[in-house]
């Protein structure tokens, strides 16, 4: 397949099926009604008419050009589904040798789909660049059934989570904070017992290195969050080897980590390696490490000004960043790193050794793979969390931070979507990843203060309780952002303690399918482990309500007896009772406004 040659397209809808023919790639990329176009676990910035598009919208939110997309940072699954006939197509592409974007074009008799190279390269006349589409499947089932089939194929494509993820990670509660928010290390150290008592298992610290000092002009002309961006802009690092003075000394960090360890808590540090800012020594000593545009000028990374983007494809840069990550683990006895956005790098138009400009972007996966190996070498029980989505990163990250879920929860809190919309999204999203992939959910993080409207506006509201229950019990890990707990400490402590003490709630498989219920203001899901099910019902209704739930008989095959033990775990513990499997096919739950109910069903122990 050449960079400028013909690509296969689907051009017609024929009798509920498809016909295909060779065509030039279409230039108009608008989806045709009544088609449901979903870019699932695929490309975040869809190349609509080759224009730059916003990568921060969530699935279900109309994107530029009308295409709905699941935000992702790499290739993966792209599908199109025809609702009236229940037929469709999906195509899966590997992450190498080059990224692909898929575009949809309206035709008079249906639709077309084509693969477009979304990359920048230097090609001489007559040269070509090879790429592939690994898997294409036509189906005549529901969209969810097609995704279930897709999930089964992922292991054969070598997309599987690491086998050596530390056991302490699953079900953990992280607390995201910046040391300056506590007035320094001593302030945070004094708060550790209260955080631990609330149910926090690990601290997630925002960057601690020397960074660009905020000028008066910056304060007047740019948006910033003074709760953690005080004297500096922590993500615009000037020296990876020197601590920010407002953080303290190296010994202060070590004492903080040691105190956390003594309470049974882990500590993870944000690792930002997009670029550097003045007066970094790298600018004078390693100018060939920088990404440059067509005119040879240096470029800011991800638009973070003032800054200079590092060329991830440069072997020297990779060696430095990987070694630096290992040194941070060793220097402070950290329990892991959280990598900030290792994707969508700017193209380097002055690459060495014959590399193409787009290879700077592709090298993000290579760095993360090597970094995980170095982190494990230094400390085998350390973890690598990544702010990234998509199957390409499943193999090299212990945990994926799902900011897209955060966006959906915020939209539900603002009543922009219904609980059933969220149910369908979570069901399909889980199917885009191999089983065993650990996903971290949350309601806020250090960037959400800049959203309009910000999820911070929901703090303390009654609806924040069922929202947090979704984050904590539908995710494999949960994150709490600094200050989010205020006014909700009792609820958080009760829910997190229950989660920590219940294996099925902290380690059970999350199931969003096989459930039916009546009511538009409720969300229902299961967690399954061994011979136990936890049925979780969240109410987003402002009034008292009763919800009737049907559990698919296919899910009940895990039980080998006709009756099971039932206990209500939350909001209050009930006495155990025996219920029949027939009762589970029509289960009723009464809920107060904005509450969560957790029912546990377990097989009865057999008499000897």
Mean pLDDT score across all residues of the chain: 80
State the number of CA atoms in the 13 A half-sphere of 590 facing the CB: 1
DSSP code string of 511-578: E-SSEEE--SSEEEEEEEETTEEEEEEEE--SS-EEEEEEE-GGGGGG--SSEEEEEEEESS----EE
pLDDT per residue as tens digits for the range 314-334: 999 999 999 999 999 999 999
pTM: 0.85
pLDDT score at 425? 86
What is the distance of C-alpha 223 from the center of its chain? 25
Among residues of the chain, what percentage have pLDDT more than 70? 78
Q: Which residue, among 59, 94, 83, has the nearest Cα to 424 in the 3D structure? A: 59
pLDDT per residue as tens digits for the range 469-485: 999 999 999 999 999 99
Using alpha carbons only, give the angle 366, 372, 376 rounded to the nearest 5 degrees.
150
pLDDT score at 217? 81
Q: Which two tokens stand for residue 143?
A: 């969209």
pLDDT per residue as tens digits for the range 506-533: 999 999 989 999 888 999 999 999 889 9
pLDDT score at 294? 84
Q: How confident is the model at residue 428 (pLDDT cuts 50, 70, 90)?
A: confident
Q: How confident is the model at residue 567 (pLDDT cuts 50, 70, 90)?
A: very high
pLDDT score at 61? 31
Q: How far apart are CA 442 and CA 99, in angstroms?
A: 29
Mean pLDDT of 567-588: 92
pLDDT score at 93? 60
Q: How confident is the model at residue 313 (pLDDT cuts 50, 70, 90)?
A: very high
**Of residues 100 and 600, more confidently modeled:** 600
Give, as one character, the DSSP assignment of residue 287: G
Q: Which residue, among 445, 438, 410, 436, has the nearest Cα to 425 in the 3D structure? A: 410
Helix/strand/coil for 508: coil
Q: How confident is the model at residue 150 (pLDDT cuts 50, 70, 90)?
A: confident
pLDDT per residue as tens digits for the range 236-273: 999 999 999 989 999 999 999 999 999 999 999 999 99
Is the backbone peptide bond immediately before 370 cis, with ω within 30 degrees of 0?
A: no
pLDDT at 37 over 90: no
pLDDT score at 24? 26
Q: Which residue, among 503, 507, 538, has the nearest Cα to 524 in the 3D structure? A: 538
Q: Which two tokens stand for residue 592?
A: 């107060």
pLDDT score at 83? 62
Q: How far apart are CA 473 and CA 403, in angstroms?
A: 16
Give, as one character, the DSSP assignment of residue 214: P
Q: Which residue, among 219, 278, 404, 256, has the nearest Cα to 334 in the 3D structure? A: 256
pLDDT at 33 over 70: no
Mean pLDDT of 300-305: 80
pLDDT at 185 over 90: yes
pLDDT per residue as tens digits for the range 8-25: 222 222 222 222 222 222
pLDDT at 56 over 70: no
Q: How confident is the model at residue 311 (pLDDT cuts 50, 70, 90)?
A: very high
**Of residues 5 and 495, more confidently modeled:** 495
pLDDT per residue as tens digits for the range 269-300: 999 999 999 899 999 899 999 999 888 999 88
pLDDT at 462 over 50: yes
pLDDT at 590 over 90: yes
pLDDT score at 546? 95
Helix/strand/coil for 386: strand
pLDDT score at 113? 40
- Give 8-11 contacts, CB < 8 A, sequence gap 24+: 8/114, 8/115, 9/105, 9/112, 9/113, 9/114, 10/89, 10/111, 10/112, 10/113, 11/107, 11/110, 11/112
pLDDT score at 35? 34
Using alpha carbons only, give the angle 349, 354, 358 rounded to the nearest 5 degrees.
45
H/E stretch holding 232: strand 232-243
pLDDT at 102 over 80: no
pLDDT score at 478? 98
pLDDT per residue as tens digits for the range 541-550: 999 999 999 9
Q: How far apart are CA 207 and CA 183, in angstroms?
A: 15
Q: How far apart are CA 179 and CA 405, in angstroms?
A: 26
């Amino acid at each position: 397949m050449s960079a400028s040659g013909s690509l296969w397209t689907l051009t017609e809808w024929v009798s509920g099926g498809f016909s295909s023919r060779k065509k030039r790639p279409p230039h108009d990329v608008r989806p045709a009604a009544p088609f449901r176009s979903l870019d699932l676990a695929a490309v975040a910035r869809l190349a609509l008419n080759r224009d730059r598009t916003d990568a921060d919208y969530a699935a279900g939110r109309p994107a530029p050009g009308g295409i709905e997309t699941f935000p992702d940072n790499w290739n993966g699954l792209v599908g199109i589904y025809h609702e009236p006939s229940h037929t469709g197509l999906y195509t899966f592409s590997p992450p190498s040798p080059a990224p692909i974007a898929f575009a949809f074009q309206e035709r008079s008799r249906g639709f077309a789909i084509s693969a477009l190279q979304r990359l920048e390269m230097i090609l001489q006349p007559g040269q070509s660049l090879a790429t592939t589409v690994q898997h294409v499947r036509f189906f005549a089932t529901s969209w969810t059934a097609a995704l279930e089939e897709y999930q089964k194929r992922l292991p054969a494509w070598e997309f599987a989570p690491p086998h050596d993820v530390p056991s302490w990670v699953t079900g953990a509660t992280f607390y995201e904070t910046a040391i300056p928010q506590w007035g320094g290390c001593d302030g945070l150290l004094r708060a550790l017992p209260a955080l631990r008592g609330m149910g926090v298992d690990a601290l997630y610290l925002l960057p601690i290195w020397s960074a660009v000092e905020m000028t008066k002009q910056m304060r007047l002309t740019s948006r910033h969050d003074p709760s953690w961006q005080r004297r500096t802009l922590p993500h615009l690092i000037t020296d990876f080897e020197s601590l920010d003075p407002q953080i303290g000394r190296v010994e202060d960090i070590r004492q903080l980590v040691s105190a956390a360890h003594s309470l049974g808590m882990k500590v993870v540090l944000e690792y930002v390696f997009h670029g550097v800012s003045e007066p970094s020594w790298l600018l004078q000593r390693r100018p060939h490490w920088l990404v440059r545009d067509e005119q040879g000028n240096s470029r800011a990374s991800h638009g973070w000004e003032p800054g200079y983007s590092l060329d991830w494809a440069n072997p020297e840069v990779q060696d430095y960043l990987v070694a630096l990550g290992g040194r941070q683990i060793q220097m402070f006895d950290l329990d892991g790193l959280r990598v900030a956005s290792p994707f969508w790098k700017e193209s380097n138009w002055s690459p060495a050794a014959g590399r193409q400009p787009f290879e700077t972007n592709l090298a993000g996966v290579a760095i993360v793979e090597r970094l995980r190996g170095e982190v494990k070498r230094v400390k085998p029980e350390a973890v690598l969390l990544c702010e990234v989505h998509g199957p390409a990163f499943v193999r090299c990250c212990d945990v994926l931070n799902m900011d897209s879920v955060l966006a959906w929860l915020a939209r539900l809190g603002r009543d922009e979507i219904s609980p059933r919309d969220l149910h369908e999204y979570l069901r399909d999203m889980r199917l885009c990843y191999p089983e065993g992939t650990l996903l971290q959910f949350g309601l806020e993080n250090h960037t959400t203060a800049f959203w309009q409207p910000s999820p911070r506006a929901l703090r303390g509201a009654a609806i924040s309780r069922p929202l947090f229950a979704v984050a904590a019990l539908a995710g494999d890990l949960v994150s709490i952002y600094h200050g989010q707990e205020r006014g909700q400490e009792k609820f958080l402590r009760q829910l997190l303690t229950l989660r920590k003490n219940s294996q099925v709630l902290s380690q059970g498989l999350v199931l969003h399918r096989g459930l039916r219920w009546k009511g538009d203001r409720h969300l229902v899901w299961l967690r399954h482990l061994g011979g136990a099910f936890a049925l979780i019902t969240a109410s987003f209704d402002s009034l008292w309500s009763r919800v009737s739930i049907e559990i698919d008989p296919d899910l009940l095959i895990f039980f080998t007896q006709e009756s099971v033990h039932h206990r209500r775990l939350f909001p209050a513990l009930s006495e155990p009772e025996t219920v029949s499997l027939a009762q589970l096919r029509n289960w009723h739950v009464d809920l107060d406004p904005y509450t969560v109910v957790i029912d546990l069903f377990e097989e009865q122990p057999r008499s000897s």
